[in-house]
Amino acid sequence: MNAVERKREFEEQGFTVARGCFSAGEMKALLEAIHLAQPLEKVPSELDKGGLTFKHNLLQQSPFLQQFVSQQKVIDFMSPITGPDIWVRWDQAIAKVPGAPEFPWHQDNGYNRLKQGHFQLWVAMTEINEQTGLLWLQPGSHKRGVRGHSRDGTHQVCEGEPAGAISVKAEPGDVILFSSLLLHRTSPNVGQKPRWAYVVEYMTLDQFDPYIKKPYFIAARGGRSAPEFVTTFRGRVSPRNQLLYLVPRLGRLMPRKVLAGVQRLTGR
């Protein structure tokens, strides 16, 4: 599949799959680096549940992971879809040991509270199949924007079984790039082997996440690998982005009546 076809597929379906993007040896090295990496948060993730575990924000203190998420092979794969200038807002390694439960239907925006879609690079480090826990997607669901979610414990859930959902099997080294607005879930691990995936969330340099603290990790500029930590970039200082998140940010600081007045004035 060429770059034009892949971009068309992503725009229409909300995802695209690249088989054999990495070798088994590269995935072994990646998993070893993840085991060695120290997350910024020193406490377990609130999303952990019964053998389903998350290790968040690993790359900040791992030169290996910084190189991995910004390598030219990744940029060449992504940039026809994302554009040439991207940064990493979040990364996480997700493990499902035997007996781990499903992760229910959701959009990633249901967790991060962002108003714009961005890009999820889902890297299979081990076999992803019916036994270890498939990735399920609803093609085209990204076109409907951010949806409402309900809470199930610490998890955000889009209720119901989406029509036309499909499952994706993956071998170590396969990658799936999908929109953060795409409905997806993972099924339980009913097998005998652990399942590992590494998920890297990218935004364009024109987008900003007001809930992420600096420094920000730049992955590419002009379609070329350009790894560096910065304290600001054009999306952070954009008046449009500041206005987009004005109400959510003020909501933490001001009384409810005052906030309601701001919402009426801004229409947000």
Contact criterion met (CB below 8 Å) for 194 and 36: no
Q: What mean pLDDT comes out for the span 172-199?
A: 95
Q: What are phi and psi of 16, to 5 degrees?
A: -150, 150
Q: What mean pLDDT comes out for the span 24-39?
A: 94
Where are the domain boundaries for CATH 2.60.120.620 in the chain? 3-231
Instruction: Give the C-alpha separation, 185 to 105, whole Å.
Output: 5
Place of tokens 């040991």: 97
Contact criterion met (CB below 8 Å) for 164 and 37: no
Contact criterion met (CB below 8 Å) for 187 and 142: no
pLDDT surpassing 70 at residue 108: yes
Instruction: Give the C-alpha separation, 94 to 91, whole Å.
Output: 10
pLDDT, tens digit, 9 for 90 and up, residues 123-179: 999 999 999 999 999 999 888 867 666 676 666 666 667 789 999 999 999 999 999
Residues 6+ apart with CB under 8 A from 51: 96, 97, 98, 99, 100, 101, 189
- Report the pLDDT value the prediction gives residue 137, as an integer from 0 to 100: 95
Radius of gyration of the chain (CA): 18
- Compute the mean pLDDT over every residue in the chain, rounded to the nearest whole number: 88
At 89, which amino acid appears?
A: R
Q: What mean pLDDT comes out for the span 218-235?
A: 98
Pick the CATH number of 3-231 from 2.60.120.620, 3.40.1350.10, 2.40.50.40, 3.40.50.620: 2.60.120.620
